Amino acid sequence: MVKGFSDSKADNDELIQESNKAKKGVFSFLKEKKITYTLPGKRQINIFGFIVLGLNLALVILATLYLNNKEFHDFVFNLGR
């Protein structure tokens, strides 16, 4: 038995024509739209970076307070009830 393509051709024209028919639903809506992606600018990168770093810093401070400060630990514990 020889591996690879066979010499006899399959009749796949019907399948190709069916796939070329007009699509319905979301695909037809998106087909007409040009979706482009633009890279964020330097200012936008800086803003998101400061937000992420600020939230991480707040998380570290709150976790330290929770573990080391008994009053803050009790406040968080009672707030969750």
pLDDT on residue 5: 60
Degrees (nearest 5) of the Cα angle 52, 81, 56? Answer: 10
pLDDT on residue 34: 74
Residue appearing with tokens 């929770």: 66
Q: For 10-33, how does the pLDDT look when each residue is reduced to its tens digit (9 = 90+)?
A: 555 555 555 555 566 677 667 777
pLDDT on residue 38: 87
pLDDT on residue 8: 60
pLDDT on residue 23: 60
- Written as one letter, the residue type at 8 is S
Where the chain has pLDDT below 50, the residues are: none
pLDDT on residue 58: 98
Distance CA(8)–CA(62), nearest Å, equals: 72
